[in-house]
Structure 1
């Protein structure tokens, strides 16, 4: 099937826009490549430090025999998604030895849980944790001991951070190793109903806690289709997983077999062999376009409107929200997974899952099949489904058609003619909106603004019964320079409750919403942010605001002369500068770029990837 003309056009535009920075990046990666095992270049004292504690692997590391895998792990046992990774290094070391190589834990990276910090002060560190993870990954791989790397991570900022950091070592092959989702808990719709009743004062804290504990209840990734599970989809369509790894449950023989196979494959694709597949060549403009298409086709997390830009920049590529918008409009929506539907990722996987989606998108010309996947084949093989034949790991074709058309469909019969994400622009700036979970009748609003300087101020107004009628809730001073750009998911039950009682409401903010962005229209990531003199700082209570997700516009309906004459408000942000570790991130708040450039503090020079 020939490529869809939009996919072809956007890919060519990205390649042309990135020609200089991509060439610089690839030249830098080629200069880092070594002949023979990387550790042979080390001086004797350096090398002795590197294998001093290697036990049975010491002789091979000393002799320079075989490849050595660097494991970068985000394991901790507070995050349910990462707790299953505790024993992965043991499995990987065993697999590497059996394959004639070795493996060492190169380092650990921080792994915070947005579910724990949601609505709390710690959420102001969340986005910046991605950049801290990238730096920790670079520190981990800086020892020149490794010929390949395995990245152990799943959740929100963790996979993007691992990938950004690993791209600085793009001369190495890198395989991402997930853990899989926890078993399904109570239905997502039931959980959402309890949350809304609690917001309205109709459910007790104990009832809410019972519902939450029945939803998040075991080792593994949370089962809604938020940022963590969107991460796993991205790693599949970018060819960075072994095929079908994303949604295999943890602590199962198949999950362990895939972890062992990832180590074996990493050793096969080093520069020491005949099928060298460095990360720098896997993550190219085609892989990035695949990621944007996959995000649109599955109604994935809005957070990736930030993360994909930062990932691309780390690979010397330049993308923007126009690219994402154009691809989303050309991509049909093929999945309904909560919050875009009632099903969870386990049900999605059982209905055909990513294998079905990838095959359908390739057949429609919407994905580049010819990327250098880490498994040794192309993207069509990425659609295969892993299974165990007794103890042997094998792969088979995914279902020829959906097993549940309420959850996943083919291109011929999509849920919507276009994907889940859109770009908005107007006199309020530029923003992102997730339309896949918003009913068509709620995708446009014209109403007075209610302006708040924090999410707590909005919630206080709600509790005081001050939010009558239709309105656009403006929550500003939530951008990366202001306070680290926290998610505002705490607002979801409140705004949903207002909408359910008949009010037309929407959210407009320079903050993030969540990978769980739901049924209320939310124009988020507004750029420029208020703290950088963006237009949100000029909005006043009562200004009429129009947001039209179908037309891709957002505007303050204020007379042009008055709008231009207004002086932006100033905010006292001193309360966001310290406490709970925020003082340590001052340099990131000062350095961070705007949302459309990935809200990243790592790239000082725009011309340097």
Structure 2
């Protein structure tokens, strides 16, 4: 089925807007492809350094130009449950490369921090900017010009977007992303949320809370709720950078290892040395970006990707705006319910039909571009399949189920949970913001109430503890944008706001910070731009102003007399407390250079208009 006219129109608008930047980008990667790598033209000293630690056979292979060399860029550390399984992936990849007649080397590592550990802590101020550090680290890893393709080992929040940006800087190289999979299901996510709220109310102690959290996050693998990490995996598959069906296979299983071997061999098969050359800069085009946004809406994915997709696109010379997200949201239905948008986790989603069913249903309803390049070849139709273990222990594929095996979790696009996507754009005299509505009950899509203004999340938590928030209100938490303090997630506020909402109060959050991939049942207008530290309208709000957060009409407004509103001077926040400590002083240049949220909240070229790329 051809893509629907509305999808085609958004894609065409992005392509037209991006024409100059995209052409310049493609010209650069064509030049890079022509220039190398050609190991035979490296000086003997260069080459000797590049393979000094290799075995004899690999040295002999790398001495010429004819054997492909695979660079491994890894985000392994054993503190992150999602990344701990990567410890043994390089050995698996090296062996697979040898079987395929190639060589594989670990090109470099990138940092990987856990937002679950830093949530509500000073270290969270480094989180978003770690994306840029990861991109630059990937660039350093590949700068040795020894490689014909690269595989990227990363899963979690800023890590995959950072690796993507780094990969696109080397857009002439094929890139295959290799996931490690989610941990098996533990304590149900809704039960975990219930216990968090009980702790916020003082009804259980810390030991009880820690016991519940430990039963939720209990082993190697990605956290099982549908936050940014698992949204990343969906994006990599629907954009054609995973092998089909690879996203949600559990770690340390025979199928997981088989998929890792297959990914390494496939990366070697699509280099410029063969007949299927597939550079990542051509895989990620306007159609692939639109497919990613469609997938985000259809699954109720992470709000963080209204930043990350913009930044990824710009790294490929493509200019995406929140208006594109909004236009696509109107025509893309929500067809998955995974916590926090439902009660099930990603393991249940995978069992119900997973990515193969999701992609097939979206294709059948004209909601995805099928005619795209992918690392698997064959356009997006090849992603209607699910991965299985073959008779010899190899990765094999079969058609995904034609019908969902559990319509409480996953439905066809012809029978969705709701007709529009999970994210919406809000605009008004408070600026522009995004809101995730897939987990918010319809009767809470509009909140009109007095503002209570805070400059830190700690102020809000103290007010809750003191019993000062037992009323209808809109919490305004400002000076949380990228230039103020690195735009931390404010997910620590979720239990308290959830408690107040459950007590019958009309509650909403408005902030120039982020919330989380786990944004849930409380309506939250986030990423407000311009941010407060840049003099944005959010800095004019005073406690007692009536604010209207309206996800139905798509508006975000202070109901204040226009003349009074225009005459108000923006409040200037005291940022001294978040400039130092826990490494924050190292990121002062990033805060100074950060672009606005709608441009991806990146630094330097990543926040520049694509037309100037």
Report the TM-score, using the length of structure 1 for normalisation.
Answer: 0.99
Task: Give the Cα separation in 2 of the matches to 1:108 and 1:502.
Answer: 49
1:162 matched residue in structure 2: 163
SS of residue in 2 equivalent to 1:33: helix
1:203 matched residue in structure 2: 204
Task: Give the Cα separation in 1 of the matches to 2:257 and 2:597.
Answer: 38
Q: Is this contact kept in 2: 1:37–1:66, CA < 8 A?
A: no
| Alpha-carbon displacement from aligned partner over 1:39-90 (angstroms, at most 9, x marks no partner) | 2231111111101111141111113331000100000000000000111110
| Alpha-carbon displacement from aligned partner over 1:306-349 (angstroms, at most 9, x marks no partner) | 00000000000000000001101100100000000000000111
2:42 matched residue in structure 1: 42
2:65 matched residue in structure 1: 64
1:230 matched residue in structure 2: 231
Task: Give the Cα separation in 1 of the matches to 2:385 and 2:494.
Answer: 37
Q: CA shift at 1:5, angstroms?
A: 1.3
Is 1:464 paired with 2:466?
Answer: yes
2:278 matched residue in structure 1: 277
Task: Give the Cα separation in 2 of the matches to 1:75 and 1:38.
Answer: 29
Is 1:6 paired with 2:6?
Answer: yes
Task: Give the Cα separation in 2 of the matches to 1:37 and 1:293.
Answer: 36
Task: Give the Cα separation in 2 of the matches to 1:35 and 1:144.
Answer: 10
Is 1:395 paired with 2:385?
Answer: no
2:411 matched residue in structure 1: 409
1:252 matched residue in structure 2: 253
Task: Give the Cα separation in 2 of the matches to 1:40 and 1:368.
Answer: 40
Cα 1:542–1:521 change in 2 (3 A) is same
Q: Is this contact kept in 1: 2:490–2:515, CA < 8 A?
A: yes
SS of residue in 2 equivalent to 1:265: helix
Is 1:104 paired with 2:105?
Answer: yes
SS of residue in 1 equivalent to 2:406: coil
Task: Give the Cα separation in 2 of the matches to 1:36 and 1:562.
Answer: 62
2:444 matched residue in structure 1: 442
Q: How does 1:37-436 map to 2 (within 5 A)?
A: 38-56=38-56, 57-390=58-391, 391-436=393-438
Q: Is this contact kept in 2: 1:80–1:220, CA < 8 A?
A: yes
Task: Give the Cα separation in 2 of the matches to 1:324 and 1:224.
Answer: 23
Q: How does 1:9-24 map to 2 (within 5 A)?
A: 9-24=9-24
Count of residues in Structure 1 that have an aligned counterpart in Structure 2? 609
| Alpha-carbon displacement from aligned partner over 1:377-426 (angstroms, at most 9, x marks no partner) | 21111121010122232100111111111100001210000110000000
Q: Is this contact kept in 2: 1:38–1:147, CA < 8 A?
A: no
Q: CA shift at 1:234, angstroms?
A: 0.2
Task: Give the Cα separation in 2 of the matches to 1:154 and 1:330.
Answer: 29
Q: Is this contact kept in 2: 1:37–1:272, CA < 8 A?
A: no
SS of residue in 2 equivalent to 1:600: coil
| Alpha-carbon displacement from aligned partner over 1:140-159 (angstroms, at most 9, x marks no partner) | 00011000000000000000
1:584 matched residue in structure 2: 586
Task: Give the Cα separation in 2 of the matches to 1:36 and 1:570.
Answer: 51
Q: Is this contact kept in 2: 1:36–1:271, CA < 8 A?
A: no
Q: Is this contact kept in 1: 2:365–2:414, CA < 8 A?
A: no
Q: Is this contact kept in 2: 1:75–1:111, CA < 8 A?
A: yes
Q: CA shift at 1:599, angstroms?
A: 0.2
Q: CA shift at 1:608, angstroms?
A: 4.0
| Alpha-carbon displacement from aligned partner over 1:454-474 (angstroms, at most 9, x marks no partner) | 011000000000012100000
Q: CA shift at 1:37, angstroms?
A: 5.1
Task: Give the Cα separation in 1 of the matches to 2:85 and 2:218.
Answer: 14
Task: Give the Cα separation in 2 of the matches to 1:344 and 1:486.
Answer: 25
Task: Give the Cα separation in 2 of the matches to 1:392 and 1:197.
Answer: 47
SS of residue in 2 equivalent to 1:196: helix
| Alpha-carbon displacement from aligned partner over 1:466-499 (angstroms, at most 9, x marks no partner) | 0121000000000000000000000000000000
Q: Is this contact kept in 1: 2:4–2:366, CA < 8 A?
A: yes
Cα 1:3–1:605 change in 2 (3 A) is closer
SS of residue in 1 equivalent to 2:413: coil
Q: How does 1:485-564 map to 2 (within 5 A)?
A: 485-564=487-566
| Alpha-carbon displacement from aligned partner over 1:279-324 (angstroms, at most 9, x marks no partner) | 0110000000000000000000000000000000000000000000
Task: Give the Cα separation in 1 of the matches to 2:308 and 2:608.
Answer: 18
Q: Is this contact kept in 2: 1:65–1:101, CA < 8 A?
A: no
Q: CA shift at 1:602, angstroms?
A: 3.4
Q: CA shift at 1:35, angstroms?
A: 7.0
Report the TM-score, using the length of structure 2 for normalisation.
Answer: 0.98
Q: CA shift at 1:199, angstroms?
A: 0.4
Task: Give the Cα separation in 1 of the matches to 2:190 and 2:79.
Answer: 26
1:32 matched residue in structure 2: 32
| Alpha-carbon displacement from aligned partner over 1:176-210 (angstroms, at most 9, x marks no partner) | 00000000001111101000000011110000000
Task: Give the Cα separation in 1 of the matches to 2:196 and 2:459.
Answer: 19
Task: Give the Cα separation in 2 of the matches to 1:129 and 1:37.
Answer: 29
Cα 1:145–1:608 change in 2 (3 A) is farther
Task: Give the Cα separation in 1 of the matches to 2:38 and 2:205.
Answer: 59
Task: Give the Cα separation in 1 of the matches to 2:438 and 2:38.
Answer: 47
SS of residue in 2 equivalent to 1:308: helix
Q: Is this contact kept in 2: 1:546–1:557, CA < 8 A?
A: yes
- Structure 1: any 5+ residue segments left out of the alignment? none
Q: Is this contact kept in 1: 2:351–2:405, CA < 8 A?
A: yes
Task: Give the Cα separation in 2 of the matches to 1:272 and 1:74.
Answer: 27
Task: Give the Cα separation in 2 of the matches to 1:359 and 1:251.
Answer: 28
- Structure 2: any 5+ residue segments left out of the alignment? none
Q: CA shift at 1:537, angstroms?
A: 0.6
Task: Give the Cα separation in 2 of the matches to 1:335 and 1:605.
Answer: 34
SS of residue in 1 equivalent to 2:433: strand
Q: CA shift at 1:522, angstroms?
A: 0.2
Q: Is this contact kept in 1: 2:37–2:145, CA < 8 A?
A: no
Task: Give the Cα separation in 2 of the matches to 1:32 and 1:60.
Answer: 23
Task: Give the Cα separation in 1 of the matches to 2:515 and 2:128.
Answer: 12
